[in-house]
Amino acid sequence: MLRTLVLILALLVGHSASAREVVMVGGYEFGPFVDSLPGGKTGGLTLALIDELNRYQDRYDFRFVLTSPNRRYKDFEDRKFDVILFESPDWGWRDHKIAVDASDVFLDGGELYIAQAQPGRGQDYFKDLSGKRMVGILGYHYGFAGFEADPRTLSSRFRMALVNDNAASIEMILKDRGDVAVVTDAYLKRYLRERPGLDQRLLISDTFDQRYAHRALVRPGGTISVAEINRLLAAMAKDQTLARLWRSHGIKD
């Protein structure tokens, strides 16, 4: 009798899990939101938020799919994912004329300039970037360049070296392979927290290259509506679930 009951419960649980509507969530390497881990694995805040979304409700099964900064538009059009988190409609979506529903802002942030700390060098160093060797990430848009993302334009007009991630940008500055890098403030905060004393080697700007207003971009008429995404994120903000996530990943105090 007990064995039969256990089997019935297992079948019910399995049926409940399989009955969830699958929502594919796209993301590209963009620390601390999506991080590449040893062994070909992927981690970061996006995957942690997906886990929380799955714990928070039982209607949807949120699953992560990896894309790239340049490929994300085509992958979305090809329906490889339904939602992308920590995004903005201003980051190329309008330029590509792709219809998306944008959620309410659920996290703010931005990108800062960094340079090597040197005697006599202060915030004035960042006021005129012309002639400086700039460092950024391939596929990203930059405020100082009028939100241009084309690699050839960034290279020819701004002497910009393009690397794969924020860690490589910081290393370029530390090794004097560039003069100024543009780095995500959330990533920089975590990077310096994990490396005590390194902040003494860097000059960090007081002003932002651009400010983020992180949203979820959702496929109109897709598996999940932007209204449902807003409802879930608002509830998670109200009970401090989101605040705990931000603190655990070192991007909010």
Tell me what pLDDT residue 148 has.
81
Tell me what pLDDT residue 253 has.
67
Of the options 3.30.10.20, 3.40.190.10, 3.40.50.1970, 1.50.10.20, the CATH number for the domain spanning 20-107+212-248: 3.40.190.10
Same fold, 20-107+212-248 and 109-211: yes
pLDDT tens for 117-176 read: 999 999 999 999 988 999 999 888 888 988 888 888 888 888 899 998 899 999 999 999
Cis preceding linkage at 69, omega within 30: no
Tell me what pLDDT residue 1 has.
52
Q: Which is it for strands 101-102 and 202-218: parallel, antiparallel or unpaired?
A: antiparallel
Tell me what pLDDT residue 6 has.
46
Cα–Cα distances in angstroms (integers) from residue 224 to residues 6, 18, 21, in the given order: 33, 17, 9
Asked if 185 and 250 count as a contact pair (C-beta separation under 8 A), the reply is no
pLDDT < 70 regions, the chain: 1-18, 253
Tell me what pLDDT residue 125 has.
97
Asked if 205 and 126 count as a contact pair (C-beta separation under 8 A), the reply is yes
CA dihedral 54, 43, 63, 217 (to 10 degrees): 90
Top CATH class of 109-211 equals alpha beta
Tell me what pLDDT residue 16 has.
47
Domain ranges of the chain: 20-107+212-248, 109-211
